[in-house]
Amino acid sequence: MSKDVLMRDLNPQQREAIVCTEGPLLILAGAGSGKTKVIAHKFSYLVKAKRLSPDSIFTVTFTNKASDEMKERIYSLLEKDINTSWIGTFHSQCNRILRREIKIPGYNNNFSIYDEGDQYSLVRHILKEFKIHEALYKGVATRISSLKSSLTGPEEFLSSGDGFGFDEKLAKVYVRYQDELKRSNALDFDDLIMLTVKLFEKNPRILEKYQNMFSYILVDDFQDTNYVQYCFLKLLTSAHKRICVIGDDDQSIYRFKGANVNNILSFENDFPGAKLMELEQNYRSTQSILTVSGAVISQNSERKHKKLWTDKGWGEKVYCCWFHTYEEEAKYIAKIIKELYLKGRYDYKDFAIFYRINLQSRALEDALREEGLPYRVLGNVSFYQSKEIKDVVAYLRLSLNHGDNVSLRRIINCPPRGISAATLSRIEHEAKKRSISLFDTIKATLRSDSFSSTVKDRLTEFVKLIEDFSATKYRSAAEMLKGVFEKSGYSETQDKERARNVEELISSAEGKEIKDFLDRVSLFTSMDEITGGDYISLMTLHSAKGLEFPVVFITGLEEGVLPYYKALEGKDEIAEERRLFYVGMTRAKDVLWLTGASKRRLYTKLQDQEPSRFLRDIPRNCCQWIENITDYQKIKPAPVKRKVEPKRPFALYTSGCRVKHPIWGIGVVHDCFGDGDDQKVTVNFPSIGLKRLAVKFANLEKM
């Protein structure tokens, strides 16, 4: 693809951002302004026009889903193999570096990667060992993650005294946690980046090697970087300063994960001579949505000013609705979705409902079920976090890394082998005394008289099973997964649904190398969930980032919900809640609904609610305001203009009646909507399933 063709479908600001390749560059990309497109085209421009090797362009995204999309776009532009290119998340990129270099910090390169669930499991085990209340495990894990994100290892934390919020019990757990990780030859997510930074800082030759390897650095969603990620980027670019970061300070919403919006606000100071460019043309939303969302976010004082515009036109006004109760809010939303769907205006996949906290989803789910509408809650237990998937993956991890204690604890009795908790406790005690892994401890105890012959037989069988998996030369991850599923006895203990999930995992692993597959699974997060299928999407506002839908409902616009009550005391926290609301609004392409209620059940208590302060920022002339709704028929979305057809005689139908179609045969009316000439029906035909039909055009015959 020539340079001219590469630039053909870009606007002037996008072209300017792409051809600027000397020195540091900050691109402020407003919501829906085509930042992914700019990165993909800039990568391709560097290869085509600047003659850089694809392998010399270090490209960082924040989700695996985003990196996959990036690779697809770049491949379509370059039409050449980019499988060895450095395109991925911070975690996957650092994992790739550590697989090559980790022997220097004293690990083996077949280390396991512990995800959040594994981290929780290990922290709970340590809290139990120290006789500290186990229910604290999430808070402790979060605190450890925060320390690592600030480059504070156990030694630095211990020597800090009262610094870093020092706590003696936390320090004790942190030291034990990191010691257990090293003994297990395992890293958690935060280690991947922290150890890479420390590797670079302590080994100038290693750092120089990677500085020379990469001619250019591209960073997506720069506003979401935390301290350790920013340090990593500054180290990597300290020699040549050829870095382009793209992001939007108005969409920085992961402060609770350590993201620091000041990284994007201070980039020009940290990189002297940096150029600043802005992308303000929005390709996603209508002007009504942009005006309303812009009015809200403009109330944040610490931000880089930008004004988004679109050539899509004004579209429908934003709907603002206030209800008596949260149940009325949910039922109304469900009825509006059903109405729009039956009108043929949208498919179910075109609708999304956002909320601030997960407990809001229950009433929404009840209302959608009552209307018979299909939905999916994103951000709950993902496919890779389901028990059966974690179990079979743990077999693979332990087979490749016998030091992986978390995986061993998970599967030693899965399926049941009659190895009691008391037996495992004795093994744990011996492992701690010898300072070796649980697997090696089991092998050592088999040579002694520590256990009865029955227990020894059970442990011997388990050890042999794992060692057989380790010794077998599998051609692919799929082949190994299939072997594990069948030979471990796990397949015999699972119901059909769980077995199908494992079969799906096996299918997804076809042709993949085992270590690469395990890395991919371990680095998967809830933000990488696949969206697809014809269902309504329900999710928290934090999960909505990076997505878009024709119709969006943002619920619970009340003080204490959005903004969340924990954020009401601090200016920075309120600013982030405002950004979170802004992100939700700018996911909408055509229609945006903002709703709240006077009464909401929060944490088992029905509370009186006041409208969110953010609603005061919205210009009333851009919205259709409705209060105290009790009947959803009081407001209907703007109708879609359709071609007028001549009237035909027709019969009225009711749910449950049988009808005959000239092509599809006999079916049963599933649902009806409208009256007279406008009646629509959904009919279940045994041969093809559900069909939506306008009665006056369908030539149905009542049976």
Write the DSSP string, 45-111: HHHHTS---GGGEEEEESSHHHHHHHHHHHHHHH-S--TTS-EEEHHHHHHHHHHHHTTTTT--TT-
Domain 383-523: which CATH class?
mainly alpha
Q: In degrees to the nearest 10, what's the CA dihedral of 39, 42, 43, 48?
A: 160
| Residue whose structure tokens are 């929780």 | 120
Query: 287-381+530-634 adopts what CATH topology?
Result: Rossmann fold (3.40.50)
In CATH, the number for domain 112-184 is 1.10.10
pLDDT at residue 636, as a whole number: 47
Which amino acid does the sequence have at 30?
A: G
By the 8 A CB rule, do 45 and 19 touch?
Answer: yes
Q: Where are the domains of the chain?
A: 3-99+194-279, 112-184, 287-381+530-634, 383-523, 658-702
Beginning with the edge strand found earlier in the chain, give each strand of the sheet holding 658-661 in spatial order.
Answer: 689-694, 680-685, 665-673, 658-661, 701-702
pLDDT at position 639 is: 42
Q: Is 75 left (phi over 0), alpha (psi -120 to 50) or beta?
A: alpha
Please tell us whether the domain made up of 3-99+194-279 is placed in CATH 3.40.50.300: yes
* pLDDT of 526: 66
Beta strands in 581-673 (DSSP E): 588-602, 605-608, 623-629, 658-661, 665-673
Which phi and psi angles does 646 have, rounded to 5°?
-65, 145
Whether 3-99+194-279 shares its CATH topology with 287-381+530-634 is answered yes
Indicate the SS3 state at residue 653: coil
Q: How many CB atoms lie within 10 A of CB 281?
A: 17
Number of other CB atoms surrounding residue 263 within 10 Å? 22
Question: Beta strands 186-188 and 112-114: pairing type?
Answer: parallel
pLDDT computed for residue 323 by the predictor? 94
Q: pLDDT under 50 in the chain at which residues?
A: 630-651
Specify the pLDDT at position 491. Answer: 86
| Residue-level pLDDT at 518 | 94
Matching residue, tokens 């969206």: 531
Which residue is associated with the tokens 């609610």?
609
Q: How many CB atoms lie under 10 A from the CB of residue 176?
A: 18
Residue 632: the pLDDT is: 39
pLDDT of 261 reads 87
pLDDT for the residue numbered 380: 63
Whether omega before 550 lies within 30 degrees of 0, making that bond cis, reads no
pTM given for the model:
0.83
Inter-residue contact 166 to 157 (CB < 8 Å): yes
Which residue, among 233, 261, 322, has the nearest Cα to 623 in the 3D structure? 322
Burial 598-607 (b: 16+ CB within 10 A, else e): bbbebeeeee
What residue has token string 């993201």?
A: 259
pLDDT of residue 229: 95
